[in-house]
Structure 1
């Protein structure tokens, strides 16, 4: 019985539905004849069409790269002026040639400005000056009265050899009509390891209200460093 029904269905004519009428509009007829044009656009990052997913998978797959084949990293290059000079890992940043200070002690207060005009090489030249107020006389080198003072100092140094150095220092203090000048000469010589010979000679001139007095002193010392 079932076989007879199957044969009857296979032998039956194919039933087709009537094509709807579009009023003869050529545009509607063209769209109806090609259903692919009626497909909606897919705005998703993953469309439902398998052929799109397969194509994207093929194009997005990157080849495997061996890290050994990568080019070496470029070392950091410092700009001019950013390098730090050092020996044995110890850096030596440049120091300023100028110095400014305010000071006070039991006999004088004031300000001081200094500059190292020449400091590189065997010759050194330094200059400092400033203004202050002397609180008590005869406590250090200066005029013999209290009051406002002006002070200046000149330092000269010369290395004679690897073992000898000569220095000269000139100090000036002036105020209230008085002027004091001190000039000292010094010679330091390394005579033996840990032994040093120091010679010092100083001349003082004190001008007191038009008059003046001079004095001098010298010393020779042999010093051993421990």
Structure 2
């Protein structure tokens, strides 16, 4: 009897058990038949079912990287972002100068050279040619016409508060020669007070007869 029952069970087809009922709701039946749909949505950078998704996609899981183990970012300096550029200097100003000028007394050209300009001593000279328009309105000969002019200037700093300077100016033309020599001493007395002294000698050949004059001044100046 038992043997007959065993043979009947072995020969019968496989019977699938019915799906448990959930109140007859088709939606609940569909969810229960597919467990994957019961997983919650994940908004994190790493979901709890990451291993399941990697296994189903056939990719191997790589090693985890700790952000603290990453090397620090290297600061990149763009061109022009530096405040100071080492080894670069502004070009030096020229020691020579050329100019064309015109005023109420003369028109002409002038060329100047600064022989010494750095340090306590300064030496400069200039010369040029022009045409005098009006006589006896500035330092020069007393007749209009073509003239040649020149100047030599010397400056010397005396300590931290005093400076001495000397200028020799000359102009010649039509056989006449004019020379002016001036000397000046400036002294800083107090932060806003300055003493200025000036002495000048003028010599004019005036067609061979010649004339000389001298003048001097002492001034105490208050700067505001």
Which TM-score band (shorter chain)?
0.5 to 0.7
Match of 1:162 among 160, 163, 166: 160
**1:174 maps to which residue?**
172
**1:213 maps to which residue?**
211
**1:112 maps to which residue?**
110
The within-5 A match list for 1:64-143 is 68=72, 83-84=88-89, 93-143=91-141
Deviation sequence 1:62-106 (CA, Å, 0-9, x none): xxxx56387x76998x796xx12xxxxxxx642111111100011
SS in 1 for 2:149: strand
CA distance in 2, matches of 1:68, 1:181: 76
Deviation sequence 1:26-67 (CA, Å, 0-9, x none): xxxxxxxxxxxxxxxxxxxxxxxxxxxxxxxxxxxxxxxx56
Q: How far apart are residue 153 of structure 1 and its match?
A: 0.3
What is the number of equivalent residue pairs in this alignment? 154
CA distance in 2, matches of 1:140, 1:67: 78
Deviation sequence 1:148-201 (CA, Å, 0-9, x none): 000000000000110000000000100010000000000000111110000000
Structure 2 unaligned residues grouped into runs of 5+:
1-69, 80-84
CA RMSD in angstroms comes to 2.5
SS in 1 for 2:209: coil
CA distance in 2, matches of 1:133, 1:111: 10
CA distance in 2, matches of 1:176, 1:67: 87
CA distance in 2, matches of 1:184, 1:225: 24
